[in-house]
Amino acid sequence: MGWFPLNVEEGEVSWRFDIVGLLAVVGGSTIEKHAQAITASHFGSFPRLMPAPETMLDTDRPSRLPAVKDVTVVSVKSGNQFNELNYFTNVIHDIESLPAFHFQSFRISHRPLPEKEVKKQKEEQTKEWEKAMEKARKAHNKAVKETKNDVERKALGEYKDPPMPPLKAIIPLYPDCVLNFVTLASICITIALAIWSGVQHDAVALLGLGTMALSTSMACMSAQWRPRLTTRTAAGQVVAGDVVIRTRSGAFVSVKCSEEVARELYAGTETCEYVYNGRYHQVLLATSTVLLMAAIIFLSNCGWKIQIAVGLAYIILNLAYWAMALLTDPHEAWNMEHRYEVDLLEKKDNENYTQVLWDVIRTTWGDSLGQKDGSGTRDKELEWMAEGGEGECS
């Protein structure tokens, strides 16, 4: 007998691959890092092998994306102040990577959308409005029917249609992002394994691959979502929405933008609009869990050659997702350029807080920034503006 048993014929193999079921559920940390992008991708619901699909089986889904804490966001004109930075805003600024006393200045505006996409959004807007009207009409008719006297019926008033909802602000993924390539690779690997199982006449392996692929698909569908930003609905004239961001380490970011852009990125709250809710979500969770358990049983009892192939496939996929988590940031998958035009006006390193504060004052023309965020006072700002002109503080 050699050092390593290399004969993989049925009945003569010495290797044991019962652990292949465990390989299927290893790698949850790397999947969790990219979970939001995976479940927002159009390829997310495709049946395929994916490490640790149980990571997606969450009964308590978050209502919004994780925000960056220990950051002060101040509206230069209105004086509104917030103590966190929205997820998609951080995709633009990557605020956590800024060194101390660093300064950046941006101009952000809306990018005109293609007519085809505007038409599609308007169709979705009309459908939502029709559903809202039908729901409101039924609720009003039910309330009128249940009223006991004319006084209560009169207080209800006549039925009025709800206002039309605004067009949704959508942030898609890049079609050519690394995540999509890894997902397509996993789909190809799954198809190749299924073909190999058919060649080997291994029905148990086909059942195992099928149930595991469907379990992954349903797990991703149960968490499938679309990002939605808060849009401004009023049409009245308002001041500019320029904002300044200050980090705990003393870095500043100055942004020139309209109130509409500021409402979407800085002042509003990002929400997760899930595709499946209520009973549909619960059914998907339950079905995916049952299929996952069945798949592990099937894969542990299929032929040895298929177990070797499936084990290698999971090792390759784990390495691919691990490399993606190590070499790329989840922020890089989101296509912010689809909706916004972002221009970097200035980028500068400073030696101390006074210098970076002067850069902020210079770019915001002495508006009452310091008084609101605690970084200085308006009187001192105006003094520096008068003394320094366009130069730096000494």
Which one has a higher pLDDT value, 98 or 234? 98
What is residue 65's predicted lDDT score, i.e. its pLDDT? 86
Residue 394: both structure tokens together: 């000494």
Mean pLDDT of the chain: 81
What is residue 125's predicted lDDT score, i.e. its pLDDT? 65
pLDDT band at residue 350 using 50, 70 and 90 as cut-offs: very high
pLDDT band at residue 394 using 50, 70 and 90 as cut-offs: very low
* H-helix segments, the chain: 20-23, 28-33, 35-40, 87-93, 115-146, 150-156, 178-199, 203-222, 259-262, 278-299, 304-327, 353-364, 370-373, 378-388
- SS3 (DSSP) at 339: coil
In sequence order, what are the beta bridge partners of 256?
A: 107
Q: What is the pLDDT of residues 219-246, one digit of tens each?
A: 999 999 988 887 766 666 677 889 999 9
What is residue 209's predicted lDDT score, i.e. its pLDDT? 94
Which one has a higher pLDDT value, 145 or 290? 290
pLDDT at 391 exceeding the cut of 50: no
What is residue 344's predicted lDDT score, i.e. its pLDDT? 94
Phi, psi of 199 (to 5 degrees): -60, -35
Q: Is the CB of residue 342 less than 8 Å from the CB of residue 336?
A: yes
- Once rounded to an integer, what is the mean pLDDT over residues 238-257? 90
Q: What is the pLDDT of residues 115-125, one digit of tens each?
A: 776 677 667 76
pLDDT at 356 exceeding the cut of 80: yes
pLDDT at 3 exceeding the cut of 80: no
Q: What is the pLDDT of residues 144-175, one digit of tens each?
A: 676 766 656 566 666 666 665 566 777 889 98
- Once rounded to an integer, what is the mean pLDDT over residues 190-204? 93
pLDDT at 185 exceeding the cut of 80: yes
Which one has a higher pLDDT value, 36 or 25? 36
- Once rounded to an integer, what is the mean pLDDT over residues 364-393? 49
Q: Pick from 2-6, 14-18, 66-70 the range whose average pLDDT is largest.
A: 66-70
What is residue 382's predicted lDDT score, i.e. its pLDDT? 47
What is residue 389's predicted lDDT score, i.e. its pLDDT? 43
Burial per residue of 112-133, b for 16 or more beta-carbon CB atoms within 10 angstroms, e otherwise: eeeeeeeeebeeeeeeeeeeee
What is residue 392's predicted lDDT score, i.e. its pLDDT? 43
What is residue 236's predicted lDDT score, i.e. its pLDDT? 62
What is residue 206's predicted lDDT score, i.e. its pLDDT? 94
What is residue 158's predicted lDDT score, i.e. its pLDDT? 65
Q: How many CB atoms lie within 10 A of CB 242?
A: 24
pLDDT at 5 exceeding the cut of 80: no
- Once rounded to an integer, what is the mean pLDDT over residues 44-53? 92
Sign of CA dihedral 71, 257, 235, 63: negative
Q: Pick from 135-139, 265-269, 373-377 the range whose average pLDDT is largest.
A: 265-269
Percent of the chain with pLDDT over 70: 77
Burial label for 138, CB within 10 Å (0-12, 13-18, 19+), is exposed
Which one has a higher pLDDT value, 371 or 79? 79
Residue 207: both structure tokens together: 């059942």
